[in-house]
Amino acid sequence: MEGRGERIDICINAAGVYEATPVFEDDLKNNFEALFQTNTFGTWLIIKAVAAQRVS
């Protein structure tokens, strides 16, 4: 979008993933980390990219 002179006026971050897993599953930590990476860092990276575009 930058090269075309377009801009983002609004950003709605409403995406995420969820996986139901048993509490005592052996791989619970890895599953939780993957969900956290997607849902938290994914949201933050989109906001960061949009904010940088809005400031410039």
Q: Mean pLDDT, to the nearest integer, of 21-25?
A: 72
CA dist 4 → 7, 9, 10 (Å):
9, 15, 18
Indicate the pLDDT class of residue 1, thresholds 50, 70 and 90: low
Share of the chain above pLDDT 70, in %: 91
Domain boundaries, position 45: 2-55
Q: Which residues contact 17 (CB under 8 A, 6 or more apart)?
A: 35, 38, 39
**Structural domains counted in the chain:** 1
Whole-prediction pTM value? 0.60
Structure tokens at 26: 């052996």
